[in-house]
Amino acid sequence: MSERSVPIRVLIAKPGLDGHDRGAKVLARGLRDEGFEVIYTGIRRSTEAIIAAAIEEDVDVVGLSILSGAHATLLPKVVAGLRAAGANDVLVVAGGIIPEEDRPGLAAAGITAVFGPGSTIGEIATHLRAHARRR
């Protein structure tokens, strides 16, 4: 078989304990319509489960949706876990309600972008296309 160009693979996960996933589902469908392969994992996933899923699915991007306010600890844990597993080139972005003052810390932890409630799917898709690894 000759080599084919492949869609960008994105894992959408909701770490933490809050049970609302409407935003995450809208994002998952929106990115599918933008031509991404979206793996949706559902709510209340542990960071360990998210890391393992990202490895098994060999995704290019992990998108973490979070509303619970636990972002400051959970999000850096996912990045660190991915790096420890050898997934150094996986882009990690976050979405949800994250206060402005927390963003520099997340950026320093390796979260390349934070998309607030006003972000459009198009904006997110553009960021992922620009920054996801190429293969």
Query: What mask of x and - would describe binding to another protein in positions 48 to 87, judged by CB under 8 A?
Result: xx-xxx-xxxx--------------------------xxx
Question: Which residues touch 75 (CB under 8 Å, ≥6 apart)?
Answer: 15, 64, 66, 92, 94, 106, 109, 111
Q: Are 60 and 10 in contact (CB under 8 A)?
A: yes
Under rule CB under 8 A, residue 17 binds another protein: no
Distance of closest approach, residue 46 Cβ to another protein, in angstroms = 7
Q: Which is nearer to another protein, 11 or 114 (CB)?
A: 11
Least distance in angstroms from the C-beta of 102 to another protein: 26
132, 11 contact by CB (below 8 A): no
- Binding residues (CB under 8 A) for another protein: these are 1-4, 6-7, 28-29, 31-42, 45-46, 48-49, 51-53, 55-58, 85-87, 135
